């Protein structure tokens, strides 16, 4: 027989009842189910008999009457099943050290004692894996839901659970027993809550279970209060607040840290932060000492914990060790959301206790930074930790005070440039113009002392922050940043300059600069690596600044600074390309005005100006027209400096719309320009001559005799010009011209020679036109006379007709007057009172329509008979007191009555066709 201690029948001095599985004193009847006492060694056989159907009240007697061999067999069967329960209990015992509450082993044993042998305990999925002590392995191999819940809860308590274990722990909130209470505490631990907070339904369950823990487990009151506050998000009630304050003094660092987080206790959070800093300082000291063994330089420790430690360290030079620790922390951190080990030297390879301390320190730093705790700044100054500085910048409430800015800028001085980028991002949270004067002064001091030696890109980003907004200050602090940016840019390489030219920050630097910036622009414009992007930036600058209010003329001065000698020839091509790319940019008028002013003041540069700024030639041309009304002076100024292919356009401007009277004064200048250009640009020059000859020929054809001398001079000059055109070779730039225009000029020459003949022909045509005009005028007058005669005839006929009508109307008036003298026509109204020559019946005089004129059939028949005799209907109506309207109304009524009473219609027919007197 199996030993009785293997069947779960004994716990301490009490014995389990086989009926209800509750524990009772030995040798007494169970007070719960009234089952008789059973010895522990017979508990398994008793459970098997109950499973077989034995009544619990007869169980004691049946056990006494049971054969010993059968009793041993039943006990062995139960012990075999209980062995599976013992494995489950052992799994629960392995999880219990990582759980907050106690009693999970007993609860698992009681749960299975209640169902065995009716239910069989599950077998592990992989028996070979039982040697693995990891909670996740236990969770994966166990088939018991209770063990799986305990493994998941234990993994959550340790922190960093997998998604599957975390979901299982959330499911434990809906379980029975201690698991749901443990789940409420586990899911609200700081290692889990801030990484994966629960949803609203789970929060309600956590709050309810936390209250149960607080009431029934006073030893865990502080942790239950933490769970309740985090689940509800409300301020703790009085009893919970007392428990939290008591928890601040707990020996368990984890509980004290939890309470400090919930209460926002600055002292407790600083304790967690300083404890980790001390451990890291000691570890850093040991690592650096071992690494520097054999060297003459002794390793220095960071941040002594107290005066004894500081004296033992032998030095206050802490920055070197901290910097090495910060570099490791930056390399180990994947993102801002995974900042658990932000204050650790090296997260890998540390023990679990060290990892928890590092996590607590990181969370404490973030919490203190979010609270804006001034004591955190003291720690920052002591440790000079770049990682801690990042936490302050990331979470410190805005706006930052002078103390915060001073601490961050002081810490940044100990690093090359690792903190400049996060410092720049943090600074942008508050506009520079909104900072207090003392804070801006601190920034100025830092800019003068440190900023000029940093990379130019980062310096420009800080300058952009300083210049941002319409209220940006223009004081000593802004000047310090501007000066530092100029110093950093002067030290930048060509490749760095080319990259910076695409940034918005450089625009701010150039716009708010002074003489130094103009010299910098002139130098960069001669650098092949950045000349093209710089010139594009300068040309597009007015459009980029359309929302700002730069100093008037600043963009033009920057562009002219790049234009100045020496080595101007190197920028002509890239400048022309930039102007072509940004020729339509808004605000370009400022640049065009500057170019035009340069064009006016420096005649020797006009050709280069027109070549470089060729896309703006039209705007410059318009300014020339507005400034100089004399067309000849404009032509003489431009044809020598403008593009060689534009001579036809200039000639067209000079003579195309010119008055005919002005042509004799203007054409000689065209012939002179053609003489100077024909040998090098024959085709475009022939085009220009054609444009001047065409108006001359046209004016001659129009009859302007004053141009005859000019035409004769042209005809004499043209043969020599034609010979020079044919002898010259056309350059590649004239490839757009397929041929010269000599044939077209021959046409104009021929037209000039034929001008006199055409003038004679035109005179003859005018004479013929005048003759035709006279004939047409005579014909028109004949037609007008004929129309006038026709009109008179029509008026005479109308007059005769009017007279005839007047005579007829007078005759009718005379007749009417005679009839009027005879007196009025007598009116004879007589009533038709005849009767039919038949015997009258009662129906004949029956009143069908009382009050009506035709009240009976006889009345109706009499009036119809009178109408049928041909008398005037109106007289008949008037004689009988009817009108047309009343006749129609009563007639329709009689028609309806005859339909409803057919005898009325039959009698009416008899009366109507009978002879009448």
Give every CB contact of residue 252 below 8 A, 6+ residues apart in sequence.
none
Average pLDDT over residues 233-246: 89
CB of 415 closer than 8 Å to CB of 323: yes
Question: pLDDT tens digit string along 286-320?
Answer: 444 443 333 332 323 223 333 333 322 332 333 33
825 Rama sector, left if φ>0, alpha if ψ -120 to 50, beta otherwise: beta
Nearest CA to 903 out of 848, 855, 859 is that of: 848
**563-596 burial by CB neighbour count: b if 16+ within 10 A, else e?**
beeeebeebeebbbbbbeebeebeebebbbebbb
Say what the pLDDT of residue 280 is. Answer: 57
Of the chain, the percentage scoring pLDDT greater than 70 comes to 86
- Give the C-alpha separation, 301 to 287, whole Å: 10
What are residue 23's phi and psi, to 5 degrees? Answer: -95, 135
Q: Is the pLDDT of residue 588 over 90?
A: no
Lowest mean pLDDT among 73-82, 281-290, 702-711: 281-290
How are the residues of the chain apportioned to helix, strand and coil, as percentages rounded to the nearest 5? 70, 0, 30
- Assign 709 a pLDDT band (cuts: 50, 70, 90): confident
Q: Is the pLDDT of residue 471 over 90?
A: no
Q: Is the pLDDT of residue 437 over 70?
A: yes
Handedness of CA 793, 799, 801, 804 (dihedral sign): negative
- Assign 597 a pLDDT band (cuts: 50, 70, 90): very high
Average pLDDT over residues 680-693: 90
Say what the pLDDT of residue 228 is. Answer: 93
Q: What is residue 595's three-state secondary structure?
A: helix
- Give the C-alpha separation, 701 to 761, whole Å: 11
Average pLDDT over residues 793-808: 89
Average pLDDT over residues 767-792: 90
**Angle between the N-to-C axes of helices 386-395 and 402-412, in degrees from 0 to 180, rounded to the nearest 10:** 150
pTM of the model: 0.53
Say what the pLDDT of residue 414 is. Answer: 63
- Assign 380 a pLDDT band (cuts: 50, 70, 90): confident
Question: pLDDT tens digit string along 184-238?
Answer: 888 888 888 877 777 888 889 999 999 999 999 999 999 899 999 988 988 898 9
Average pLDDT over residues 421-426: 81
Nearest CA to 453 out of 417, 493, 479, 422 is that of: 417
Say what the pLDDT of residue 669 is. Answer: 92
Question: pLDDT tens digit string along 867-914?
Answer: 888 767 888 888 888 888 888 898 889 999 899 999 989 989 998 898
- Assign 707 a pLDDT band (cuts: 50, 70, 90): confident
CB of 494 closer than 8 Å to CB of 527: yes
Say what the pLDDT of residue 287 is. Answer: 46
Q: DSSP letters of 227-288?
A: HHHHHH-S---HHHHHHHHHHTT-SSHHHHHHHHHHHT-HHHHHHHHHHHHHHHHHHHHHHH
Say what the pLDDT of residue 537 is. Answer: 86
**What is the distance in angstroms between the CA of the first residue and the CA of the last residue of the chain?**
152
Lowest mean pLDDT among 329-343, 423-437, 585-599, 834-848: 329-343
- What mean pLDDT value characterizes the chain? 80
Q: Is the pLDDT of residue 827 over 90?
A: no
Instruction: Enumerate the H helices of 5-118 as residue ranges.
Output: 43-52, 59-65, 68-95, 104-115
Question: pLDDT tens digit string along 633-657?
Answer: 999 989 888 887 888 989 988 888 8
**734-768 burial by CB neighbour count: b if 16+ within 10 A, else e?**
beebeebbbebbeebbebbeebeeeeeeeeeeeee
SS3 string of 357-375? HHHHHHHHHHHHHHHCCHH
- Assign 485 a pLDDT band (cuts: 50, 70, 90): confident
Count of beta carbons in the 10 Å neighbourhood of residue 21: 22
Say what the pLDDT of residue 225 is. Answer: 92
- Assign 353 a pLDDT band (cuts: 50, 70, 90): low
- Assign 470 a pLDDT band (cuts: 50, 70, 90): low
Q: What is residue 161's three-state secondary structure?
A: coil
Q: DSSP letters of 288-310?
A: HHHHTTTSSSPP--SS-SSHHHH
Q: Is the pLDDT of residue 613 over 50?
A: yes
Bigger pLDDT: 778 or 358? 778
Handedness of CA 723, 724, 725, 729 (dihedral sign): positive
Lowest mean pLDDT among 326-330, 347-351, 646-650: 326-330
Say what the pLDDT of residue 831 is. Answer: 53
Bigger pLDDT: 89 or 333? 89
Q: What is residue 916's three-state secondary structure?
A: strand
- Give the C-alpha separation, 676 to 184, whole Å: 101
- Give the C-alpha separation, 100 to 673, whole Å: 105
Nearest CA to 668 out of 689, 653, 682, 638 is that of: 689
23-24: strand order across its sheet: 10-11, 14-16, 23-24
Q: Is the pLDDT of residue 279 over 60?
A: no
Say what the pLDDT of residue 366 is. Answer: 81
Say what the pLDDT of residue 339 is. Answer: 33
Average pLDDT over residues 590-603: 91
Question: pLDDT tens digit string along 732-754?
Answer: 888 778 787 888 888 988 888 88
The set of long-range contacts for 230-236, using a CB threshold of 8 Å and a minimum separation of 24, is 230/188, 230/193, 230/206, 230/262, 231/184, 231/188, 231/198, 231/203, 231/204, 231/206, 231/207, 232/203, 232/207, 233/203, 236/262
């Amino acid at each position: 027989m199996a030993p009785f201690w293997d069947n779960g029948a004994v716990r301490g001095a009490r014995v389990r009842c086989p009926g209800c599985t509750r524990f009772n004193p030995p040798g007494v009847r169970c007070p719960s189910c009234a089952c008789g006492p059973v010895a522990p060694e017979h508990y398994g056989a008793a459970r098997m008999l109950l499973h077989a159907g034995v009544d619990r009240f007869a169980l004691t007697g049946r056990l006494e009457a049971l054969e010993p061999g059968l009793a041993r067999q039943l006990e062995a069967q139960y012990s075999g099943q209980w062995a599976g329960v013992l494995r489950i209990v052992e799994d629960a015992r392995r999880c219990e050290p990582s759980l907050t509450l106690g009693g999970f082993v007993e609860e698992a044993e009681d749960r299975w004692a209640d169902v065995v042998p009716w239910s069989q305990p599950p077998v592990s999925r992989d028996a070979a894996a039982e040697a693995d002590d990891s909670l996740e392995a236990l969770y994966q191999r166990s088939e018991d839901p209770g063990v799986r819940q305990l493994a998941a809860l234990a993994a959550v308590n340790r922190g960093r659970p997998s998604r599957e274990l975390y979901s299982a722990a959330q499911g434990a909130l809906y379980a029975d027993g201690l698991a749901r209470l443990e789940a409420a505490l586990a899911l609200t631990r700081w290692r889990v809550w801030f990484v994966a907070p629960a949803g609203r339904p789970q929060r309600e369950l956590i709050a309810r279970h936390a209250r149960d823990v607080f009431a029934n487990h006073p030893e865990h009151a502080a942790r239950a209060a933490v769970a309740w506050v985090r689940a509800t998000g409300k301020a703790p009630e009085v009893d919970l607040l007392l428990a939290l304050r008591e928890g601040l003094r707990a020996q368990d660092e984890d509980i004290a840290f939890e309470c400090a987080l919930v209460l926002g206790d600055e002292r407790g959070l600083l304790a967690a932060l300083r404890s980790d800093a001390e451990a890291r300082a000691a570890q850093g000291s040991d690592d650096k000492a071992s690494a520097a063994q054999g060297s003459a330089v002794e390793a220095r420790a960071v941040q002594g914990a107290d005066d004894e430690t500081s004296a033992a360290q032998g030095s206050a030079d802490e920055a070197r060790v901290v910097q090495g620790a910060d570099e490791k922390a930056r390399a180990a951190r994947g993102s801002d959301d995974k900042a658990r080990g932000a204050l650790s030297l090296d997260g890998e390879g540390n023990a679990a206790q060290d990892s928890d301390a590092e996590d607590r320190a990181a969370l404490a730093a973030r919490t203190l930074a979010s609270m804006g705790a001034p004591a955190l700044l003291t720690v920052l100054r002591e440790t000079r930790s770049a990682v801690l500085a990042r936490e302050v910048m990331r979470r410190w409430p805005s706006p930052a005070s002078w103390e915060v800015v001073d601490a961050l800028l002081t810490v940044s001085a100990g690093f090359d440039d690792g903190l400049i980028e996060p410092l720049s991002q943090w600074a942008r949270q508050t506009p520079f113009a909104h900072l207090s004067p003392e804070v801006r002064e601190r920034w100025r001091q830092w800019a003068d002392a440190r900023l000029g030696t940093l990379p130019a890109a980062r310096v420009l980003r800080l300058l952009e922050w300083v210049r941002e907004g319409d209220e940006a200050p223009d004081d000593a602090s802004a000047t310090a940043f501007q000066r530092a940016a100029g110093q950093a840019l002067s030290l930048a390489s060509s490749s760095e300059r080319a990259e910076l030219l695409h940034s918005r920050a450089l625009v701010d630097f150039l716009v708010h600069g002074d003489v130094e910036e103009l010299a910098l622009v002139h130098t960069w414009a001669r650098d092949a690596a950045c000349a093209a992007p710089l010139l594009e930036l300068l040309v597009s600058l007015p459009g980029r600044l359309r929302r700002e209010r730069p100093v008037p003329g600043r963009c033009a001065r920057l562009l002219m600074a790049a234009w100045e000698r020496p080595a101007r020839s190197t920028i002509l091509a890239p400048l022309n390309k930039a102007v072509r790319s940004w020729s339509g940019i808004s605000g370009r008028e400022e640049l065009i005005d500057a170019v035009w002013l340069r064009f006016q003041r420096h005649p020797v540069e006009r050709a280069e100006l027109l070549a470089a700024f060729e896309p703006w030639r039209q705007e410059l041309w318009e300014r020339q027209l507005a400034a100089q009304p004399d067309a000849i002076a404009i032509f003489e100024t431009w044809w020598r400096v403008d593009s060689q292919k534009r001579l036809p356009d200039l000639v067209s401007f000079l003579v195309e719309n010119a008055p005919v009277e002005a042509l004799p004064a203007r054409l000689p200048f065209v012939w002179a320009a053609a003489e100077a250009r024909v040998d090098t640009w024959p085709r475009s020059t022939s085009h220009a001559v054609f444009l001047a000859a065409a108006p001359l020929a046209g004016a001659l054809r129009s009859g302007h005799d004053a141009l005859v001398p000019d035409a004769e001079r042209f005809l004499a000059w043209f043969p020599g010009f034609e010979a020079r055109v044919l002898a010259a070779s056309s350059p590649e730039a004239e490839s757009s011209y397929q041929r010269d225009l000599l044939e077209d000029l021959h046409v104009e020459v021929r037209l000039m020679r034929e001008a006199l003949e055409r003038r004679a022909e035109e005179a003859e045509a005018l004479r013929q036109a005048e003759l035709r005009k006279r004939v047409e005028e005579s014909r028109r007058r004949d037609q007008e006379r004929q129309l006038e005669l026709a009109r008179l005839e029509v008026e005479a006929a109308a007059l005769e007709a009017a007279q005839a009508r007047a005579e007829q109307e007078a005759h009718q008036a005379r007749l009417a007057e005679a009839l009027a003298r005879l007196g009025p026509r007598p009116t004879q109204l007589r009533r038709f009172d005849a009767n039919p020559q038949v015997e009258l019946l009662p129906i004949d005089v029956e009143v069908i329509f009382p009050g009506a004129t035709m009240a009976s059939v006889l009345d109706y028949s009499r009036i119809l008979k009178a109408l049928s005799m041909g008398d005037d209907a109106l007289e008949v109506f008037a004689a009988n007191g009817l009108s047309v309207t009343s006749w129609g109304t009563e007639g329709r009524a009689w028609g309806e009555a005859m339909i409803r009473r057919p005898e009325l219609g039959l009698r009416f027919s008899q009366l109507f066709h009978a002879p009448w007197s």
